[in-house]
Structure 1
Amino acid sequence: MPVLRACQITLSATERRRLKRLAYSHTAAYQKVIRVRIVLDAAHGHSNAAIARRRGVTVDTVRLWRGRYADEGLKGLTDRPRPGRPPRFTAIQVAEIKALACQLPAETSVPLSRWSRPELAGEVVGRGTAGAISASTVRRILATAALKPWQYQSWIFIRDPDFTVKAARVLDLYARIWDGLPLGDDEYVISADEKTSIQARCRCHPTLPPGASRMMRLNHDDDRGGAPAGARR
């Protein structure tokens, strides 16, 4: 049987400098660093077995990346695309899921202020967009988007020095507590608003739009501009 001979690697000065930078890079992927070092060892005339011992890999691994570099150069050291499992959802279904995430739940008659992943998955199935989908799949689909307008943070600049005391009284009422004592069964908390006019309000700070790796930010403080219209009877 003919003896298999290792592929000969001959590097130019430019190629050698480029490979050395990658071989000692602190940011390149570890797998690529090992492959580059295999090529450099091969260029120095080391055998496949000797390279395998130096780099802690198998001889077949050395033979693979040595041959790839000889045939394709540096681009041969990257992994080739793998088919993997075919996608379960079409591009249109993915787009519809992302569009639904951008809508307020109130627009779909869902009594929520913000979507949760399980609720969003249930709405997708309820609309017939997909026959079945899990909350974890919804999370993965939304995570692939570069812009995520459905995510936002809000902040408020508290200027009232007595804010804590005032807020505590309101929060206690939500919990049916007054002056540190729980309300009785025959005591009620009623919240009412006159709604005598339409308030002209604008935010003290403009909303910051979403961007790559940044969610939208909203400020809840507003300036009152009076009432543009009187009450209707």
Structure 2
Amino acid sequence: MAGRPRGVVELTDDERACLTRWARRGKSSQALALRSKIVLLCAEGLVNTHVAQRLGVSRDMVGKWRGRFLARRLEGLVDEPRPGAPRRISDDRVDEVIVKTLERQPANQDSHWSTRSMARETGLSQTAVSRIWRAFGLEPHLVDTWKLSADPMFVEKVRDVVGLYLDPPVKAMMLCVDEKSQMQALERTRPMLPMMPTVAARQTHDYVRHGVASLFAAFDPAAGKVIGQLHRRHRHQEFLKFLKVIDANTPAEMDLHLVLDNYATHKTPAVHRWLAAHPRFHLHFTPTSASWLNLVERWFAELTHRKLRRSSHRSLADLETDVQTWIEAWNTDPRPFAWTRTADEILNSLATYCGRINDSGH
């Protein structure tokens, strides 16, 4: 059955060149890039249904931007102005700020743009640059860290660990195990000043160190409870002692599946001998440089944020007592952690990210 007649899209050479440039821009104005791709496919003679299937959008969206282009040509693809005072900064000037922010560095060899340096570069006011950056979510002063695992068994280990989270073995316990090493007993040189209206709590930046302790923890994501043991060192001897604590504090009839990282203390001959004598223990190692797969790291973040970051301890024993008391309080009202992403979703996300950084030109 024939559908409604569609307007035929014919492009001039200048229009095709402009649309192609907009469509290929990988860093900015993704909405405009999608609209440009719609019009380019329409110009190839494709009907709206086929264009929608090619781009993964709705047929109504294709019809909308086909009609807008036929009515107003290139200007029809640009967002219409919002109600209010007339704009004093054109789309070209905004585009210039975005492109320079994303694709160029300052001429003075600074590592990133500031609102002042961008204002000098473009001739706009500092306030205008700040507004443009906020509108497009650009924060040149911030940088996040990341690391890709080079583990040759990365895919297999991700599937193994995530499979445990999403489909735990029957009649068995799963525990996420790790050490939080180098917990410092820091004593602030002055007492903390309490919070007041409009004034945050304040503590001195200087402190006295009284030593470090290591917390060995086994977190049960299903129940939310933690088995913890504190030591002054974190060698394989201490890890063996902790395995014995886990053994003594879990039902003897249940198998134990432990999610661990690749720290050397987890793989010594003494540890292997002990595990061979206790066959109910099954170890599952996360990939190297992928500690985010171990849910105990998320629990360590709770410990740091809710206890350690704002505490002051006069001795190492004071720190150990404080941490042990906090763990006991946590276990009286435990909070289970639920893993939601499948292994395929994680691997597809990483594959997409690797494709982006490989195509970035750096």
Larger relative helix fraction? 2
* TM-score grouping bracket, smaller chain normalisation: 0.3 to 0.5
Q: With CA pairs under 8 Å and 6+ residues apart, which has the higher RCO, 1 or 2?
A: 2
Bigger CA radius of gyration: 1
TM-score by length of 2: 0.23
